[in-house]
Amino acid sequence: MRAIGSDRSVPVRSAVAALAAAATLASGAAAQISLDVETGAALSGYNDVGIPGDGGTRFSLTDDLESETTSYLRLRLGYQRGRSHVSVLYAPLRIHAEGSLDRDLRYTDVTFPAATPLDATYVFNSYRLTYRYDVYRSPALALGLGLTAKVRDADITVTSDTQERAKTNVGFVPLINFDATWRWTDRAGLRLAGDALAAPQGRAEDVMIAAWVAPSPRLEIRAGYRLLEGGADNDEVYTFALIHYLLVGISVRP
């Protein structure tokens, strides 16, 4: 999703300040700190690129080239007090593709001739600060809603034996955060959670559904599926990607 505004530092500072202030709205319950680690396999559903967006050759890292299935790692540090949740997330992603096109590829300011062996690297690293508040709680169900300030660090590089070109983009994206956790017992349940937003500049969705078990009050283990989708269509770039994740995760509370 494309960055909003020309001065990215202003909205980032504003969002961080707003989220930090919101965290003080928590109740007087004891605070909890958690560390969450998620890993698994990331598979490309589609990954369509055209750079520049108004004149570059549109090609697919999944249809024109062959994208590899890759492993990934996500780290989240969380803080909860009462119904309020604050977390920071580091979510890097790197996917490699290779092959050749049956047509010339104009990418940035160069042209790769048809049938040229190509290597492409798709990088989409995400750094997020989230505040969420549980708007509903019962013994069986908790529903939370909040805001995420996301910094996206993206890079798409195309390389041949003689040429290499890269398109990088770092930008701020505001997202809506949501969480629905259902308990069918005290120690097991189902969770739907994510960040998402659509705007004229583009869209972004990162949604997880997973079953979880809690062997102890300080340990939670989950397994499930995550979908990452989004992109932008403008004069500078055309890029839309769908990534499927098969995941396992563990959350530890000291």
Express each pLDDT in 184-239 by its tens digit. Answer: 999 999 999 999 999 887 899 999 999 999 999 999 999 999 999 999 999 999 99
pTM for this model (two decimals)? 0.86
Query: Averaged over 94-108, what is the pLDDT?
Result: 97
Least confident of 29-33, 108-112, 115-119: 29-33
pLDDT at 29: 54
CB contact at 8 A, 202 and 179 = no
Q: Give the start-end residues of each E strand in the chain.
A: 31-50, 59-60, 65-67, 70-81, 84-91, 94-99, 105-107, 110-112, 118-137, 141-159, 164-185, 188-199, 202-216, 219-233, 238-252
Q: Does residue 38 have a pLDDT over 80?
A: yes
Strand 94-99 and strand 65-67: the pairing is: antiparallel
What domains are there in the chain, each with its CATH number? 10-91+127-151+175-252 (2.40.128.90)
Query: Averaged over 112-139, what is the pLDDT?
Result: 98
Q: How far apart are CA 221 and CA 249, in angstroms?
A: 6
- Give the alpha-carbon dihedral of 20, 25, 27, 28, to 10 degrees: 70
pLDDT at 30: 73
Q: Does residue 165 have a pLDDT over 50?
A: yes
Express each pLDDT in 128-159 by its tens digit. Answer: 999 999 999 999 999 999 999 999 999 999 99
How big is the CA angle at 220 (ends 219 and 223), to the nearest 5 degrees?
150
